[in-house]
């Protein structure tokens, strides 16, 4: 694995996911790019239609409608109105929680 100097922990981007798909599945690179691209596009379009997406073993992406409310700008104290809106919430599955916590004993720097 290449050590990224700017971020010691490294950041994974879409191209890295494409690499994994390419390595594990044995499509052409172009097919791997396309598949990953379409996957996220599809998730977005389902959420845009107002439907939740649940990925078994990973997490759920749930939509929540929030009521309008009054609030304050914490810096200036100025009262503001927050309009009603729809937000996306992320609920990790038990399996995902298990994997992120299994690594705890092995990780040395945090």
Partner 1 sequence: MTKAELVEKVSSQINLTKKQTEVVVNTVFQSITESLSEGKKVELRGFGSFRIRERNARLGRNPKSGAQVDVPAKKVPFFKAGKELRELVDK
- Residues at the site binding partner 1, with contacts judged by CB under 8 A: 9-14, 16-17, 20-21, 24-25, 27, 31-32, 34-36, 38-40, 42-44, 46-48, 50-59, 61, 63, 85-88, 90, 92, 95-97, 99-104, 107, 110
Least distance (Å) between residue 17 CB and partner 1: 5
Burial of 52 (0-12, 13-18, 19+ CB in 10 A): middle
Please say which residue, 39 or 80, places its beta carbon nearer to partner 1.
39
Query: CA 35 to CA 14: how far, in whole Å?
Result: 11
Whichever of 26 and 74 has its CB closer to partner 1, that residue is: 26
Those residues whose C-beta lies under 8 Å from the C-beta of residue 53, and which sit 6 or more positions away, are: 43, 46, 47, 60, 61
**34 neighbors 40 (Cβ within 8 angstroms):** no
CB of 7 to partner 1, least distance (A): 8
Please report how close the Cβ of residue 50 comes to partner 1 at its closest, in angstroms.
8
């Amino acid at each position: 694995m290449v050590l990224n100097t700017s971020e010691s922990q490294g950041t994974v981007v879409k191209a890295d996911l494409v690499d994994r798909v390419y390595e594990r599945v044995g499509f052409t690179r172009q097919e791997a790019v396309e598949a990953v691209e379409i996957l996220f596009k599809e998730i977005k379009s389902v959420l845009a239609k107002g439907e939740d997406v649940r990925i078994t073993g990973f997490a759920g992406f749930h939509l929540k409608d929030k009521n309008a409310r009054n609030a304050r700008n914490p810096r200036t104290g100025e009262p503001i109105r927050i309009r009603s809106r729809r937000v996306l919430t992320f609920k990790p599955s038990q399996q995902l929680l298990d994997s992120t916590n299994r690594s705890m004993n092995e990780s040395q720097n945090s």
